[in-house]
Amino acid sequence: MFDNFKRFFAIAGLSTLLAACQIIPHGDTGPATTPVPETKPSESTLPQDESRHRVALLVPLSGNNAGVGQSIANATTMALLDTNAGNLRITTYDTAKGAKSAADRAITDGNRLILGPLLADNVPAVLAAAAPADIPLISFSNDASVASSDVFVMGHIPEQSVTRTVDYAMSQGSKRFAVLTPRGEYGRRAAKALEEAVAARGGQMVATQSYDRGNSLIISAAKKLTAQGGFDTVLIADGARLSAIGASALKEAGDTLPHILGTELWSGEASIANAEALRGAWFSAVPDARYRRFVDSYESRFGQQPYRIATLGYDSVLLTLRVAREWQPGQAFPTSRLMARDGFIGLDGVFRFGRDGVGERAMEVRQIGNGTVSVVAPAPERFTN
């Protein structure tokens, strides 16, 4: 059954991934001939498919986020071809030209499921069109605040990365925490997640400092944090470059060296391994092993590297195929199947949705070494509760 999958991936382990998704491909067992998702729908309402489920992909294909949207669209194409998914028809709609109009057109065209949108700001407009038609959204956003019984948030949620890292840090002896965050929504979310995770596990929040992003500004904030003192562990909620600068300032100013924690922003940043000030630091992210294989395959097909978020496009197709086993063509999408407690597995590891629509990810903990990044606590391979 999985000969077609192995033909593309030719990589150890991916047939296991697809088997774990319980995908049952439809159509013949010869070379995959599924057409790529249409970049625009037909001028009039598309005909109903008797044997294929109509699914809309809503992503930006123009404007500032066009590259990200196209990368996600390319990944959905790969997933269709790799699984020989003859039971799905995916049509892509450009949200950059208006999220509401894209959703209206998708619904008029007969789609019964929406993959997207990418941006949390677009969710209300898309939902306004989709909810009356009983069409759920599987959004690529990482903003849990837009999740609901009709909106399933599939993105990698930063708060979950922070919580996973705090769990590990406390198992290694961390007790008193401080946080260094950039001003803005991401910084606020990271700080709140740290405070909640520490309180829930019996630790202590000692100090907080925020800063406007910049080399000198993070150094100043780090020195103020050190002056407050009393902590043994500091979360720096920024990218690799500024985190390394902040960590260096913390270690230069203090009498004792605090343990440094990072967020999922460090994942995929090659420079992190050579940042001396971050040696020994911990951060959490979704497993990367399958992503590296995905990148190789993506490059061979499209001649460029994908955006990291492109895996969500691929995994959304795997997810749809899993649920499609109990989805009759022309009928409403069986939304309740998205909340299976055993979850789903994709390129980014296992995940599942809660009844609140928020996607829960299994994450691994990594440690920065001397030119290396190693996994010190693997991601769970399944959910046990």
Alpha carbons 317 and 319: distance in angstroms, whole number: 5
> Would 90 be classed as within a structural domain?
yes
Same domain, 66 and 27: yes
Same domain, 208 and 271: yes
Same domain, 148 and 293: yes
DSSP state of 255: S
Same domain, 53 and 141: yes
Domain at 271, CATH number: 3.40.50.2300
Alpha carbons 171 and 70: distance in angstroms, whole number: 41
Same domain, 373 and 232: yes
Is the pLDDT at 120 greater than 60? The verdict is yes
Whether this prediction's pTM lies above 0.85 is answered by: no
Same domain, 280 and 295: no
Same domain, 171 and 34: no
Q: Among 132, 156, 148, which Cα is nearest to 355's? A: 148
Alpha carbons 213 and 237: distance in angstroms, whole number: 11
Same domain, 292 and 304: yes
Reported as a single tens digit per residue, the pLDDT across 52-62 is: 899 999 999 99
Same domain, 7 and 121: yes
Same domain, 149 and 225: no
User: Is 347:311 a contact under the CB 8 Å cutoff?
Assistant: yes
Q: What is the identity of the amino acid at 234?
A: V
Residue 357 φ/ψ region, left for φ over 0, alpha for ψ in the -120 to 50 degree band, beta for the rest: left
Backbone angles phi, psi at 73, to 5 degrees: -60, -40
- Which residue has tokens 């990365």? 161
Same domain, 271 and 317: no
Reported as a single tens digit per residue, the pLDDT across 307-346 is: 999 999 999 999 999 998 888 777 889 999 999 999 999 9
State mean pLDDT over 161-179: 97
User: Is 361:169 a contact under the CB 8 Å cutoff?
Assistant: no
Alpha carbons 24 and 84: distance in angstroms, whole number: 10
> For residue 226, how far is the Cα from the chain centroid?
33
Same domain, 281 and 293: no
The tally of domains found in the chain comes to: 2
Per-residue burial over 238-262, b = 16 or more CB atoms within 10 Å of its CB, e = otherwise: bbbebbbbbbbbbbeebeeebbbbb
> Would 383 be classed as within a structural domain?
no
Domain limits for position 206? 158-285+364-377
Reported as a single tens digit per residue, the pLDDT across 235-294 is: 999 999 999 999 999 987 555 678 999 999 999 788 999 999 999 999 999 998 899 999
Number of Cβ atoms within 10 Å of the Cβ of 21: 18
> Would 385 be classed as within a structural domain?
no
> Would 170 be classed as within a structural domain?
yes
Reported as a single tens digit per residue, the pLDDT across 1-45 is: 333 333 333 333 333 333 333 322 222 222 233 334 444 444 444
Alpha carbons 167 and 201: distance in angstroms, whole number: 8
